[in-house]
Amino acid sequence: MSRMLLKGGRVIDPSSATPDLVRDIAVHDGRIAEPDAAAAYDQTLDLAGSVVMAGGIDLHTHIGGGKVNLARMLMAEDHRERGNPIALPANALELASCGGCAPGTLATGYRYVEMGYTAGFEPAMVPSNARHAHMEMGDVPVLDHGAYVMLGNDELFLQLLAEGGPEMRNFAQIRDYTAWTIHASKAMGVKVVNPAGISAFKFNQRKLDVDEKHVHWQVTPRQVVHSLARALKELGVPHPLHIHGSNLGVAGNIQSTLDTIAALEGLPAHLTHIQFHSYGTEGPKKFSSAALQLVEAVNANPQISIDVGQILFGQTVTASGDTMRQHANSGLANPRKWVGADIEGMAGCGVVPFRYREQSYVNALQWVIGLEIFLGVRNPWQVVLTTDHPNGAPFTSYPHLIRLLMDRSFRDEQLARLHPEVAANCALKSMTRELTLAEIAVMTRSAPARLLGLKDRGQLGIGAAADIAVYREDHNREDMFRTPSHVFKDGTLVARDGRITATPVGGTHFVEPGFDPIIEKTLRRHWQDHGAIHFDNVAISHDELCRCCNGGRLLPTACFEGSA
Amino acid sequence: MTATAAVPSEVWTCPFCPLACDQLGVETPAATGRFSLRGGACERAERALGRFDGAPATPTVDGRPTTLDAALQAAAALLRASRQPLFAGLGTDVDGARALYPLACATGAITDSAGGEPLIQGLRALQDRGQFTTTLAEVRTRADVIVFVGGLPTAMAPLIGARCGIVDSQLAQRHVVMLGGSAEDETTLAGWAGPGVSVESIALTGDLFDTMALLAALTAQRRLPDAPPALAALAQRLHQARYGVLVGAPPRLPAQGALIIEAVHRIVDQLNRKARAAALWIGGGNGAATANQVFAWLSGLPVRSRAGPHGLEHEPHAFDANRLLNGAAVDALLWVSSFDADAAPPATALPLVVLGHPAQAAACQRAGAVFIPVSTPGIGCDGHVFRTDGTVLMPLHAVRRDSLPTVADVARRLTALMQAEGTA
């Protein structure tokens, strides 16, 4: 039994009836409790002058699995300090771990926690790589974690879709297969990456528009997106389909993005790293911001949410399941090398190092587009703050990004340093909006928790998990969000002034939608004829998950009552 | 794969080669108590299964049997006395590697795998230029041209043909090419020919380096008037393939094998401009690739690294286990080999700790040596190892649980002993 009182902080909790109020918070055995004047507290912290928020939740960050480890092995230069070894941690609680854009799992956990984050979600778990992904996430200290499993490029899904025809006569089978895949891989949701495009690349197709047919299966990305979104809706999976759309990075891809939204026909979905999908073809370089069109679509479709995938300048490495697009972009690799793979009749991956430059017209415009989207969407509950770590920038740049969003004069200073044509002509230069602390709290904890169906996280109501970040008020928001004074995970102090103070093992979030087990007959036959692993070895049991995740707690999230 | 017809009710994953096959089973007839393979044949698996027949091994210190606790104390004392230990072999599963990393940090040890050199050759090629690879299911279902570079890796991975789908009927027609190869390889290759499978053996032009350089030039459609017609035809065939796969085995490559690995990647890269192709590498067995993956994800750095006085360092050349031992650059060796009974520690007079296969006991009986027999994942305990293609982490299931500690158990206890010393 431990009791703690956090006294007099400015509590910003957008999920509550009093979203911004100076008040006390009590913590009782790792949960938020009603402050009780008569109670004896083991510890009382005076937080006058501090801002108190729930722990941050990153809903899209590449923190574990095959392509992340390939990125680490590829980016040897990320693991040296100008040719010298990286200094060992001074803190005895930390094990040696390094890397900026491709950090080790240990460094990933330490750096997130020091910034006040307490959960991160790996967005691109390949079904055949699920054990590996869970192992890596289990080795990210402190953070709770979960993953979205990739579907929509696996040959079986495309085959079923082709067999069912446009009217999806076999929809129940598709839905059961979706649920089974979530169950087998212990996922928190489903992500589709370049719908049908990764598979199409295996058949040597080099691009795939939303209504273009996969050369072998003769199905379209529109069909893939719609069927998966509908399956998840019917299964009651809280996180709607997580979509990395068609034509990532291509000038003019706003049309694909709008077509994808239309393909959903009103079904809920989350469009990820939307900055990379909001490009027009105007202007002298035939590359322009389509942020306005995107913002209009998001404002008009409240069932859609987005994360931005903001780019920030400097060296990073892009790690993606989108083999088709990564192959197309591999010529831009800096340094000049890249890794790709076709994976197991299910997926692919591409890892391309990238250096975003302020003086590059394209990169400068990408930076602008991301910020225009952040500042343009009216309802912050539809927007999640991400850099698509490490694709737009490493997650450690979040405090800088927050300052860009909250401080117009700082933003304008940065804008002035960019490619002059971009700086002179962009809509961003006349955008005056400065996001409030409450809006930042929505985008970094409340909205991600709601979008994932995490009822007791991302908020500070009575009974919620005591994942808490305490920031000292500072008009320099970058400094403020860089180093919270206190970070609590389930009530345990895990970081104090940027120093790790405890390293509990995080828990694993996953969902368990129901399915008709008859589907396993089809799957067993498919694995026997097309797989390279015995069907009985495919699914991860609870016991095995526990082992993969280093003994962390299993945190199943309840599904909604589906219509199925 | 024909073996899938007789599916055993409980799956067994073989931990003894890079393919980590799970279509065969293990039987333990009550009469003999010996393991035998069920549902198919694999000489490597059968040989490895035959190494679990001995009497139960006990820990020894200086050649004298002792308790696990005493052996751990002796091992900790030995590591404590070392100024620069080397952790080598690294024949373990994910759990073992996860537990060895904190011990390596606590002792400042350098790490290297048994067979570290081919692993590093592959890694160097990756770090310098990148790669484009594929996996067994892709090869099985889609590869219509398969090229084995430098012969067939059947001694390392006996079922490679089956796992590449060469003897099942997923594709109407496959063409299998062998570049270089022994007389025995020729026989194996000829045995693969049949309905739906054509085979071709192409002799080397010069050595394998020359041959791959020629093939790379031909694939890039450079004009080479004196090029051997068979190689020119192969380049042509790869351009026309639906999915061409180049299969190589780094442990079988000559010194400077990274150059051949790079040549394969260059060919694949060239083909992928207009057609589709990929590489498949066979290697990293006995836990070598697994330890490398785990260390890379925990620390950011692969094997041949240490958390030393200068910081976190990766030295792909200087931290070669053999080089360190030969140059007397280390003063203690911790050797891990939980899968391969034949992977004995290198001959050395240094203080030695072996976390080994029980059958290695006899080889580790000398003054200054601590031997701790450990359970073999996939035989005496569960576990996980990476399959050769690096994207599938295979679950290993115990056949008969034993009472031996796992590598992870031992490493965790040693770390605790080191830390207790540190705070004492």
- pLDDT tens sequence across B86-108: 999 999 999 999 999 999 999 99
State the nearest Cα–Cα gap between B135 and chain A, in angstroms.
6
User: For B379, what's the count of Cα atoms within 13 Å in the CB-facing half-sphere?
Assistant: 27
Q: Same domain for B349 and B205?
A: no
Identify the DSSP state of A60.
S
Can you read off the two tokens belonging to residue A313?
């300048």
Return all residues near A167 (Cβ < 8 A) that are at least 6 apart. Answer: none
Per 3-state DSSP, what percentage of chain B is helix, strand, and coil (rounded to 5)? 40, 20, 40
Q: Is A343 on the interface with B (CB under 8 A)?
A: yes
pLDDT of residue B115: 85
Q: Same domain for B168 and B313?
A: no
Write out residues 232-291 of B within 8 Å (CB-CB) of A: 242-243, 272, 275-276, 278
Compute the C-alpha angle B196/B197/B200, nearest 5°.
150
State how far the Cα of A354 lies from the Cα of A315, in Å rounded to an integer: 6
Q: pTM for the whole thing?
A: 0.97
> In this complex, which of A79, A86, A96 lies closest to B105 when CB atoms are compared?
A96
pLDDT of residue B381: 96
Number of residues that this document lists for chain B = 424
Residue B8 has pLDDT above 50, yes or no: no
Omega before residue B345 within 30° of 0, cis = no
CA distances B339 to B60, B233, B276, B359, B360, Å, are 19, 42, 37, 10, 11
Could you read off the pLDDT of B222-263 as tens digits, one per residue?
Answer: 999 999 999 999 999 999 999 999 999 999 999 999 999 999
State how far the Cα of A304 lies from the Cα of A163, in Å rounded to an integer: 29
Domain limits for position B309: 57-115+286-423
> How confident is the model over B352-359, as a mean pLDDT?
97
Residue B184 has pLDDT above 60, yes or no: yes
Tell me which chain A residues have a C-beta less than 8 angstroms from the C-beta of B294.
Answer: 135
Q: Same domain for B296 and B377?
A: yes
Residue B198 has pLDDT above 60, yes or no: yes
| Number of structural domains found in chain B | 3
Q: Same domain for B238 and B352?
A: no
Q: Do A343 and B105 touch (CB under 8 A)?
A: no
State how far the Cα of A151 lies from the Cα of A124, in Å rounded to an integer: 10
Q: Which residue of B has its CA nearest to A128?
A: B392
CA distances B35 to A78, B10, B17, B22, B82, Å, are 47, 15, 17, 16, 40
Residue A16 CB coordination number (10 Å): 17
Among A470, A554, A448, smallest CA distance to A505 is for A554
Q: Which residue of B has its CA nearest to A83?
A: B313
Return all residues near B223 (Cβ < 8 A) that are at least 6 apart. Answer: none
Q: Is A434 on the interface with B (CB under 8 A)?
A: no
Q: Same domain for B221 and B358?
A: no
pLDDT of residue B172: 87
Could you read off the pLDDT of B67-82 as tens digits, one per residue?
Answer: 999 999 999 999 999 9
Q: To probe the interface with B, which of A537, A541, A544, A548 has the most B CB atoms within 10 Å?
A: A537
Return all residues near B211 (Cβ < 8 A) that are at least 6 apart. Answer: B179, B180, B204, B205, B231
Q: Do B391 and A66 touch (CB under 8 A)?
A: yes
Longest Cα separation, chain B: 75
pLDDT of residue B168: 82
State how far the Cα of A228 lies from the Cα of A218, in Å rounded to an integer: 17
pLDDT of residue B368: 97
* Residue finishing a domain among B281, B301, B328: B281
State the nearest Cα–Cα gap between B319 and chain A, in angstroms.
14
> How confident is the model over B185-198, as a mean pLDDT?
97
Q: Percent of chain A, pLDDT > 70? A: 99
State how far the Cα of B313 lies from the Cα of A86, in Å rounded to an integer: 7
Q: Is A51 exposed, middle or buried (0-12, 13-18, 19+ CB in 10 A)?
A: buried
pLDDT of residue B30: 74
Contact B352, B333 (CB under 8 A): yes
Q: Do A97 and B13 touch (CB under 8 A)?
A: no
Q: Same domain for B400 and B364?
A: yes
State the nearest Cα–Cα gap between B98 and chain A, in angstroms.
9
The CATH number for B76's domain is 3.40.50.740
Q: Same domain for B14 and B86?
A: no
Contact B299, B54 (CB under 8 A): no
Read off the amino acid at residue B392. V
pLDDT band at residue B207 using 50, 70 and 90 as cut-offs: very high
Q: Do A73 and B123 touch (CB under 8 A)?
A: yes
Q: Same domain for B170 and B311?
A: no
Q: Same domain for B198 and B304?
A: no
Among B320, B337, B361, B312, smallest CA distance to B410 is for B337
State how far the Cα of B169 lies from the Cα of A180, in Å rounded to an integer: 28
Q: To probe the interface with B, which of A68, A79, A546 has the most B CB atoms within 10 Å?
A: A79
State how far the Cα of A325 lies from the Cα of A178, in Å rounded to an integer: 25
Read off the amino acid at residue A325. R
> How confident is the model over B279-289, as a mean pLDDT?
97
Q: Do B130 and A532 touch (CB under 8 A)?
A: no
Tell me which chain B residues have a C-beta less than 8 angstroms from the C-beta of A79.
Answer: 300-301, 312, 314
Q: Same domain for B193 and B240?
A: yes
Q: Which residue of A has its CA nearest to B139?
A: A344
pLDDT of residue A562: 53
Q: Same domain for B411 and B267?
A: no
Among A286, A307, A276, smallest CA distance to A401 is for A307
ipTM higher than the 0.95 cut: yes
State the nearest Cα–Cα gap between B269 and chain A, in angstroms.
10
Write out residues 359-388 of B within 8 Å (CB-CB) of A: 382, 384, 386
Read off the amino acid at residue A101. C
**What is the SS3 assignment for A136?**
helix
pLDDT of residue A1: 65
Tell me which chain B residues have a C-beta less than 8 angstroms from the C-beta of A68.
Answer: 297
CA A299 vs. chain centroid, Å, equals 21
Residue B5 has pLDDT above 50, yes or no: no
Omega before residue A390 within 30° of 0, cis = yes
The CATH number for B142's domain is 3.40.228.10
Which homologous superfamily does the CATH classification assign to the domain defined by A53-500?
Metal-dependent hydrolases (3.20.20.140)
Write out residues 18-57 of B within 8 Å (CB-CB) of A: 22-23
Return all residues near A374 (Cβ < 8 A) that are at least 6 apart. Answer: A308, A310, A383, A385, A405, A435, A443
Write out residues 96-155 of B within 8 Å (CB-CB) of A: 98, 101-102, 105, 123, 126-138, 140-142
Instruction: Look at strands B352-356 and B332-337 and give their pairing.
Output: parallel
Residue B411 has pLDDT above 50, yes or no: yes
Tell me which chain B residues have a C-beta less than 8 angstroms from the C-beta of A341.
Answer: 132-135, 278, 391
Going from N- to C-terminal start, the domains of chain A cover: 53-500
List chain A residues with pLDDT less than 70. 1, 562-564
Q: Same domain for B162 and B266?
A: yes
